[in-house]
């Protein structure tokens, strides 16, 4: 309980500060500090994603920053693929999954570095139907990655929506949170059926993440976004390098 609370507070605070989901922080903390198997860390993290998405989307909705039709398209497509991602994760050799997760962290760090420089130039020049095609493809990809990596997917959903669908930043963030509630729930259930969720850790983890997101989001405006994103990217690159250099091999445990 206490370990989950501490991990949740750290992950939620850092995630709230830089505007990413806690999954990219929760998973490394569980594998490094608690020595969870990679699959268990991904499954347990995805349960926390359900609750952060619920609370976060409610806040954005109350502030008018949620596009229900767009979220429905993303969510519907993500529901089609999230179970495949979760099952693929469970049947991967742990060494291979660690390296995939390292590559995923590197891609997130790159997005954080480029975020201040990403223009919204394509938005006005694209036909209306392109927006919906982008959402369909993005939803399918996000569902698979969310299930496989144990994350919400907002860190790559939001930039794609802003760049290629012409959606405003805050609205895109609200859409991503709302869209991932059903998909992350289904993904977490799949991990649970396959025996890859540490249920005893969940109460503290969920409370810690929710409290941490509130704290991190509250103080985020006090720190320059560009410098904060750069520092966090360095941390992610370091963590990714540890995953990519790992040599331990543990067979996946799935039933």
Q: Please tell me which of 10-19, 79-88, 223-232 the model is most confident about, judged by mean pLDDT.
A: 79-88
Instruction: Tell me which DSSP letter residue 223 carries.
Output: S
Nearest of 102, 84, 95 to residue 27 by alpha carbon: 102
Let me know if residue 118 belongs to a domain: yes
User: What is the largest distance, in Å, between two alpha-carbon atoms of the chain?
Assistant: 52
Distance CA 101, CA 110 (A): 14
Model confidence at 255, in pLDDT bands (50, 70, 90)? Answer: very low
The answer, yes or no, to whether residue 128 has pLDDT greater than 80, is: no
The answer, yes or no, to whether residue 124 has pLDDT greater than 70, is: no
Let me know if residue 250 belongs to a domain: no
12-24 average pLDDT score: 73
Nearest of 235, 250, 212 to residue 48 by alpha carbon: 212
Does residue 12 contact residue 42 with C-beta atoms inside 8 Å?
A: no
Let me know if residue 65 belongs to a domain: yes
Let me know if residue 206 belongs to a domain: yes
Model confidence at 72, in pLDDT bands (50, 70, 90)? Answer: very high
Residue 123, pLDDT score = 52
Q: Is the dihedral of CA 156, 203, 26, 19 positive or negative?
A: positive
Residue 234, domain extent: 2-245
Tokens 């509130």 map to which residue?
A: 214
Let me know if residue 94 belongs to a domain: yes
Model confidence at 125, in pLDDT bands (50, 70, 90)? Answer: low
Domains identified in the chain, total number: 1
Instruction: Tell me which DSSP letter residue 92 carries.
Output: S
Does residue 145 contact residue 104 with C-beta atoms inside 8 Å?
A: yes
Residue 166, pLDDT score = 78
**Average pLDDT of the chain, as a whole number:** 84
Instruction: Count the alpha carbons within 13 Å of 64 in the hemisphere toward its beta carbon.
Output: 0
226-252 average pLDDT score: 74
Let me know if residue 42 belongs to a domain: yes
Does residue 248 contact residue 95 with C-beta atoms inside 8 Å?
A: yes
Let me know if residue 254 belongs to a domain: no
Let me know if residue 253 belongs to a domain: no
Angle at which helices 202-219 and 2-18 cross, to 10°: 30
Residue 97, pLDDT score = 92
């Amino acid at each position: 309980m206490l370990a989950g609370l501490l991990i949740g507070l750290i992950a939620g605070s850092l995630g709230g500060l830089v505007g990413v989901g806690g999954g990219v922080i929760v998973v490394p903390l569980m594998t490094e500090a608690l020595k969870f198997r990679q699959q268990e860390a991904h499954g347990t993290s995805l349960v926390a994603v359900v609750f952060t998405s619920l609370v976060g989307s409610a806040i954005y909705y109350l502030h008018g920053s949620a596009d229900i039709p767009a979220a429905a398209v993303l969510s519907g497509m993500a529901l089609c693929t999230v179970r495949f991602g979760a099952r693929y994760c469970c049947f991967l050799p742990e060494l291979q999954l660690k390296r995939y997760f390292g590559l995923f962290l590197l891609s997130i760090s790159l997005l954080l570095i480029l975020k201040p420089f990403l223009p919204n130039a394509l938005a006005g020049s694209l036909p209306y139907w392109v927006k919906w095609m982008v959402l369909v493809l993005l939803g399918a990809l996000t569902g698979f990655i969310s299930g496989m990596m144990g994350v919400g997917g907002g860190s790559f959903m939001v930039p794609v929506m802003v760049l290629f669908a012409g959606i405003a930043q805050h609205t895109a963030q609200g859409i991503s949170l709302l869209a991932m509630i059903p998909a992350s729930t289904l993904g977490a259930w799949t991990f649970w059926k396959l025996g890859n969720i540490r249920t005893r850790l969940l109460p503290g983890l969920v409370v810690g993440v929710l409290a941490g997101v509130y704290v991190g989001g509250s103080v985020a405006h006090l720190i320059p976004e560009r410098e904060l994103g750069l520092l966090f990217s360095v941390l992610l690159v370091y963590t990714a390098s540890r995953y990519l250099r790992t040599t331990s091999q543990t067979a996946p445990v799935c039933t």
